[in-house]
Structure 1
Amino acid sequence: MKLINTAAAALMGATCIASAGLAKDCAAPLRQPATEKLMELVVSDTVLKYQLEQSIALGQRINGDPMTNPVASLEDYYHFIDALVTYNPQNIMTGTLNGQTRVSMDGKNYCNWNILDILAYSYFLVDRQLTTDPRGQIQFANDKFGEWMRDIAVEWGNYLETPASAINVPDFTSDPNYATWTSASDPGTSPWYCPPEGGYDTFQAFFTREFCAATFPNGSRPVQGYDDPRTVVAIGDSTSAGRWPISEDGKLVTTYDGVAQSGRVIKGQLYSDVHDFILGGEGETVIESFGSIDPTLFDGGTWTHQFLNVNNYHRLHVPVAGKIVYLKHLQSAVRMKSGWSQAIGEGEVSFYDPRDTADWQFGQTRMVIGIDTGEPHGVVVISPMGMAQVSGIQKRQWVIENAQALKGQEFANFAFGGSDFVVMFEKKAGFVLTVDVLPEEAPGAGVNYTGSLQGEKYGCFGGDPGCSAIPGAANQPPPIPADQ
């Protein structure tokens, strides 16, 4: 990818050494091309100016602390964008969430913010409910602003593929939460990746790190139920957000809960078109396409959704075996839902919370792949979703029409960003989600699932949760470089 030279020059001046704490102020970055473009949009679009000002104001009503919400005006927002596209990912030890994810926010010293905090905050600022329309956030309400958000995602993604972006990678590789994953079947006592000699050349190379060949010689974790066609496995180290029924006319129905500009809570239902999700909707650009699929196959079926956090493994593996019959890579929006979670008890930490609801998968950049498993379970759609600051979804060369996909086979990876995965099943598949549920409820979701490792049993066909979890990895191909 081509780096914008003016941004690269400013990035070098914006970096401060902060891994040992927050003692130093960050150097102010130069005004960036992305910021100048936004300023031009604001001048030419008074509605956008009003929307931004109102979204920022409502954010201040939710959290008025300048150390954790320093953007209180349009000028503050311009300064934030300058810092965002010149940000070197940080992993500073100042506070931890649930003993794992590091939390760091330092007012307008954005180089002292941790990576997930600044990413989630960037969407909190534009995720305020401005109207009573179910999609009343500025991310949905203003198309030009949505296009601009894509531009800054790409600009930041370009930078993360340069050597300068690797300056703080040692802070990540020394953090066990980026090397291990805890689940019921794997306590995470040993690292799953092996840094190359001399370290990672770019932050993107670290973010897309592969399994250690010495530990996983087949390029995959052991695939549970490999020989049982009823078993569906997790596509990557991820957390389930749940399962939802698809209506008989192809709509995903989800509950809706938002707060309007007036502060009034809005509740109801939101209907999203599964057919458009599969085939592409108005205004979405087709990057690559082959094969065909009848979207009505999924009427009355099941929609599932998995979330990958910033510290997770970000390569993707096939959850079922079958023949690839369809692919459509769609470029659309780069949105994310984000709220503020205020600490209320001793030992708790406040943080910006990416709230991963099913309806926010619609209108996102995505790769939709159809896999025909044959009878009796039919076609399964798998769809990696580029959310937030994602510069691409990169598929492997073997993913072509009529190729045979093996369960657990690596087929793509995310570039940097928040990322999700949707899997859809036909009604006749009788899919049952088998992931364990934690006793405490998840904020806004109601159900809190345990994490899943790539290759672990995720669910079963046929309505019976008793499908096999016996691991196997027969004939798995070796790891494939991310650029192939």
Structure 2
Amino acid sequence: MNTEMKPCQKTFTVGKWMPSDQATLTTWMSKIMAKADQDTGPLLPSVQGLKDFIESDAKAYMFFTQMFDQVSKKLTTSPSGLPQVRDYQHMLKLFNVIMTHAPEFDETGLVGCPFNAILDWSMATEGGWAGFIDDKVNVHLKTMLDEWGLFLQSYESTEVLSDDPKKGWFGEDAKKAMPTFVNDFECDPTLPHYGFKSWDDFFTRKFREGVRPVAEPDNNAVIVNACESAPYRLAHNVQLRDNFWIKAQPYALQFMMDNDPFVEKFVGGTIYQAFLSALSYHRWHSPVSGRVVKTRLIEGTYYSQTRSVGLDPAGPDYAQGYIAEVATRGLIFIESDNPDIGLMCFMAIGMAEVSTCDIRVFEGQRIEKGQELGMFHFGGSTHCLFFGPDVDLEFDLHGQTPSLDSHNIPINARLATVKSRKA
């Protein structure tokens, strides 16, 4: 099979996780490569652990060799126009640099998923598909990303929370992109870094009281938006099993919920999926009032994307349906106070390095509509709401058709109204 691919000049605009300006992204990658070439020190423990695993496991060595061998040697850039990563040793050196860097602001979109930018070429190859779906590979990726997450939770990561006019999160360009930041979010501009203790603290920031009011809090027929997010897909009559890896990426409930006993209650029902923006709010709120029945964390993949969508320079943007079955995710089952809704489920789905699903509620807990459920650490990702087959819903997507071109609906805003079964 011919594995040669041609460069693609598609802009990275979905969710603002990658710059829409290719020159910015190329400059960033060139800078990281230059630092890696100058770095003569040892690899950090988790990166060294990944290296040891690749070089001691036959399948991993094959996958990580193939994914770079399958890149055309005639090309010097990746599918997105980035300087090409040469081999897995080069990849590891680049990872090592990233591990002590927090994302800088850029008006065309931050490099919010730097590991993803490094892997965008290899993810698109046959070797990449096989390697990044492998459980043992994902264990080592998780260890590495957890270590990076600890850095983002440290005070050292606040370096980018500066007033640098171009790169700082409180600089001139950032203030233009987020003009109502101080009024919207809990912060204190008189303190260093506006009072944020780390990059993670900044990215999991809270709205000020009253900024996102709950739509009709006393009306249990109104379902509110669980995340500050843009509509991606609305699917009805969802099946228990389906070929989720094909181009249409149909949902397969059994795999999305990891064979949970509750899955049968949602067969033939409705799924709503939406994705978060890098510049917005990253916590989850309950779409209904009721009782938490169960919570679950499911370990999964980080850089797997289905090959059926073709080349996806900002992968896995095009594969959001597919990763709902295989990526790291968290489930929160809620028994609604409204019997016309009954049991529903919120599912947080990790994308690339944005994969820490931090559930903050517990089984048996009483929750009100609009109450916080948890959060994504380091930014945002994608999520789903599940409803049973007998739930008659009228969605309000604020004049939009679900797609990668949609824009955020505010959290706690009306998302849908359930119709009475008696009526």
Q: TM-score, normalised by structure 1?
A: 0.67
Residues 382-421 of structure 1 mapped to structure 2, 5 A cutoff: 382-390=346-354, 392-396=356-360, 399-421=361-383
- Gaps in structure 2 of 5+ consecutive residues: 1-26, 163-167
How far 1:164 moved relative to its partner?
0.8
Q: Percent identity of the aligned residues?
A: 18
Distance 1:149 1:256 in 2: 25
Distance 1:336 1:307 in 2: 17
**Residue 357 (str. 1) matches residue 336 (str. 2):** no
Query: Counterpart amino acid of 2:333?
Result: G
Distance 2:262 2:392 in 1: 19
> Is this contact kept in 2: 1:243–1:302, CA < 8 A?
yes
**Residue 449 (str. 1) matches residue 406 (str. 2):** yes
**Residue 79 (str. 1) matches residue 78 (str. 2):** no
In the other structure, the counterpart of 2:170 is 173
How far 1:430 moved relative to its partner?
2.0
Distance 1:86 1:378 in 2: 46
1:32 pairs with one of 37, 44, 55: 44
The answer to which structure has the higher strand fraction is 1
Distance 1:63 1:39 in 2: 26
Matched residue SS, 2:46:
helix
Query: Counterpart amino acid of 2:215?
Result: Q
Query: Counterpart amino acid of 1:458?
Result: L
2:302 pairs with one of 328, 331, 334: 334
Distance 2:75 2:223 in 1: 42
Query: Counterpart amino acid of 2:117?
Result: Y
Residues 10-21 of structure 1 mapped to structure 2, 5 A cutoff: none
In the other structure, the counterpart of 2:396 is 434
Query: Counterpart amino acid of 2:132?
Result: Q
> Is this contact kept in 2: 1:389–1:417, CA < 8 A?
no
**Residue 41 (str. 1) matches residue 33 (str. 2):** no
Query: Counterpart amino acid of 2:267?
Result: D
**1:365–1:163 CA distance, 2 compared to 1 (3 A):** same
Distance 1:74 1:385 in 2: 27
> Is this contact kept in 1: 2:250–2:321, CA < 8 A?
no
Distance 1:352 1:47 in 2: 23
**1:124–1:24 CA distance, 2 compared to 1 (3 A):** closer
How far 1:83 moved relative to its partner?
1.8
How far 1:273 moved relative to its partner?
4.2
In the other structure, the counterpart of 1:277 is 256
How far 1:177 moved relative to its partner?
6.8
- Gaps in structure 1 of 5+ consecutive residues: 1-17, 103-113, 181-187, 258-268, 282-291, 343-350, 465-484
> Is this contact kept in 2: 1:298–1:425, CA < 8 A?
yes
How far 1:438 moved relative to its partner?
5.4
How large is the Cα RMSD of the aligned pairs? Answer: 3.6
In the other structure, the counterpart of 1:8 is none
**Residue 198 (str. 1) matches residue 192 (str. 2):** yes
In the other structure, the counterpart of 1:231 is 222
**Residue 459 (str. 1) matches residue 416 (str. 2):** yes
**1:381–1:60 CA distance, 2 compared to 1 (3 A):** farther
Distance 2:397 2:75 in 1: 35
Distance 1:189 1:332 in 2: 34
**1:315–1:32 CA distance, 2 compared to 1 (3 A):** same
1:296 pairs with one of 255, 264, 269: 264
Query: Counterpart amino acid of 2:207?
Result: F
In the other structure, the counterpart of 2:246 is 256
Q: TM-score, normalised by structure 2?
A: 0.76
**1:51–1:356 CA distance, 2 compared to 1 (3 A):** same
1:322 pairs with one of 265, 282, 290: 290
* Range with bigger deviation, 162-171 or 74-83: 74-83
User: For residues 143-165 of structure 1, what are the alpha-carbon distances to aligned partners after superposition, in whole Å with 9 as ceiling and x for unaligned?
Assistant: 22121111111111011111111
> Is this contact kept in 1: 2:312–2:318, CA < 8 A?
no
Matched residue SS, 1:324:
strand
How far 1:341 moved relative to its partner?
6.7
**1:254–1:61 CA distance, 2 compared to 1 (3 A):** farther
User: For residues 235-268 of structure 1, what are the alpha-carbon distances to aligned partners after superposition, in whole Å with 9 as ceiling and x for unaligned?
Assistant: 12111211223545x23565723xxxxxxxxxxx
**1:161–1:79 CA distance, 2 compared to 1 (3 A):** same
